[in-house]
Structure 1
Amino acid sequence: MTTVGWIGLGAMGGPMAQCVAAAGHAVTAYDVSLERARSLAGPGLTAVDSIQAAAANAEILVLMVATPDQVAAVLFGDGGAASQLKAGAVVVIMATVGPGPVEGWAQRLGELGVGLVDAPVSGGVARAATGDLLVMVSGSDEDLARCRPIIDAMASTAPTVGPKPGDGQKVKVVNQLLCGVHIAAAGEALALADSMGLDVASTWAVLKTGAAGSFMFSDRGGRMVAGAFDDVRSALDIFVKDMGIVTATAKSVEQPTPLAATAEQLYLTGRRKGLGRKDDSVVYDVLRGRA
């Protein structure tokens, strides 16, 4: 059994923490919504009311928050976790935050004798609940060995993609480029079908089984057809953030990403229209001019 501190119990983080607890580890968890944290408490998972309380005595501290600024505040802000972690502890960053920040945090934590494992996730809420995520893992062999039982409790696939913190984020950047462009393409295709007077649901049902099909076309396309934009599985704001990371990272290595840049503008348009907290499939309505 490993003593695990956990920060962030949102749509993904909550079920992930429950999977770790169900695997027999002692999880002490904090969320900005104490009510949310208490609702998830159960055997092996204890809710606490501060970051410091979650980090105290943690052998492994998992962060599943949304943005780089949130990670920095959790670790190094007033009342941050870094001040509570003992030498030999390992921080596992599972959010999509970009390679640059992770590399910087690894250096700062290393000066305290604390390791960092970079482990961004992909798979969505349903797979998070069943421990069936893809986790892109990077870090030192020693740190990875300590964290492996925790990661394996959440993932069906968790390959080591590099030896350094930041390598996992680089792979996740590529993943998010594909996801963001695929969602935008699905919305554009179905909007075209609608504009041509086709039955959109029938068109989607036919095309998702052929060469044009993809996970995103099947998954997000289904929500587009149903208009299920209030059933938020992944908020549009997440792709505003993630596509910003994609394009910024690409610029840092002078790699043109014209499709990603165009998709980013579509997500930004949706946010500007007040749709940031809707499901990201709402890009369909943005493209149809209905938002």
Structure 2
Amino acid sequence: METRSNTRSTSAGLIGLGAMGAGIAATLRRAGYDLHVCDARPGAAEAFAAEGGTAHANPAEVARQCDCIVSVVVNAQQTEEVLFGPNGAAAAMKPGSVFIMCSTVDPNWSISLEQRLAERGLLYIDAPISGGAAKAASGQMTVMSSARPEAYAKAGSVLDDMAGKVYRLGDKAGAGSKVKIINQLLAGVHIAAAAEAMALGIREGVAADALYEVITHSAGNSWMFENRMAHVLAGDYTPLSAVDIFVKDLGLVLDTARASKFPLPLASTAHQMFMQASTAGFAREDDSAVIKIFPGIELPPAKAKKEDTP
């Protein structure tokens, strides 16, 4: 269920200033937090902190400054590095501090991470996020969380302040990550289906912009069709969420289902489509580039960007 915390921290750390992380950091900064940040890319933390906050060289430095850390990196491997790598946060966090994990990961890994941190006297919130960079920056994204009550009691206010909707789905780690990968199943299938529909329309000689106009005002529309096929119309495959993100996320979906021998025919097909796009050279392009796997169609060219005006 969605609830809000009554307590509020005044400082927080954030590790990972990518598209989503930078938006969350900006939201927390607007909310008045004394924010401590770091990023693996040279200069990224300093650029963010130029408008407020403190840049640090590594996760350990962030951990020494605050009792709550929000991690917004790509996957479990990067989260392991943030926590347990050289200059990792875990060894520097004070007992009772909270680590908020926002990546899309294997739910069983998230469950085990809660126990590993508990052995160090640290609290953990399994808190994958959804909504895209724009909603992260506006504070309107969704958090799918699960955690022990004491973790919510200490850091629930940070979740509330960084998102429009915070769902508390259980009293231990795992449920948040399970709901997130189910969301990713739908997102990946919807993008793949949207690309297939647009590709067929182009193949049949329908004007792409006309098809987009009709579908977005008809029962066949989806949020992913409306959002991602706009990228196709613009010929702009700048990665907001890359093809390889869905290679990873749908892989997690299939691994979870395989463990209980649960069939996922649509997710399997969508995963193969993203795999094909990745191996064809589109791995780091926007996930809408999955449309490029369809043969015999001419996609809309890139539109010239308007010059900035004073």
TM-score (norm 1): 0.96
Matches within 5 A, 1:258-273: 258-273=265-280
Distance between the aligned counterparts of 2:51 and 2:133, measured in 1? 21
Residue 102 of structure 2 aligns to which amino acid in structure 1? Answer: M
Would the alpha carbon gap of residues 145 and 288 (structure 1) be closer, same or farther in structure 2, given more than 3 Å must change?
farther
Aligned to 1:211: 219
Moved over 3 A (4+): 288-291
CA contact (8 A) 1:22 1:44 kept: no
Deviation at 1:42, TM superposition (A): 4.3
Would the alpha carbon gap of residues 289 and 58 (structure 1) be closer, same or farther in structure 2, given more than 3 Å must change?
farther
Matches within 5 A, 1:114-263: 114-229=122-237, 231-263=238-270
TM-score (norm 2): 0.90
CA contact (8 A) 1:2 1:59 kept: no
Distance between the aligned counterparts of 1:212 and 1:241, measured in 2? 27
Deviation at 1:44, TM superposition (A): 4.6
**1:127-166 per-position Cα deviation (integer Å, ceiling 9, x unaligned):** 1110000110110122112222211122111111122111
> In the alignment, which of 86, 89, 104 is matched to residue 81 of structure 1?
89
Residue 27 of structure 1 aligns to which amino acid in structure 2? Answer: L
Aligned to 1:281: 288
Aligned residues: 290
Distance between the aligned counterparts of 1:165 and 1:66, measured in 2? 19
Structure 1 residue runs without a partner (length 5+): none
CA contact (8 A) 1:21 1:43 kept: no
Q: Please tell me whether residue 54 in structure 1 is matched to residue 49 in structure 2.
A: no
Distance between the aligned counterparts of 1:164 and 1:178, measured in 2? 24
Which deviates the most, 163-172 or 77-86?
77-86
Distance between the aligned counterparts of 2:136 and 2:118, measured in 1? 30
Residue 268 of structure 1 aligns to which amino acid in structure 2? Answer: M
Which deviates the most, 26-35 or 172-181?
26-35
Give RMSD over aligned pairs.
1.4
Distance between the aligned counterparts of 1:288 and 1:14, measured in 2? 37
Structure 2 residue runs without a partner (length 5+): 1-8, 300-310
Aligned to 2:42: 34
Deviation at 1:124, TM superposition (A): 0.4
Residue 108 of structure 1 aligns to which amino acid in structure 2? Answer: R
Deviation at 1:220, TM superposition (A): 0.5
Matched residues, percent identical?
40
CA contact (8 A) 1:25 1:44 kept: no
SS of equivalent to 2:90: helix
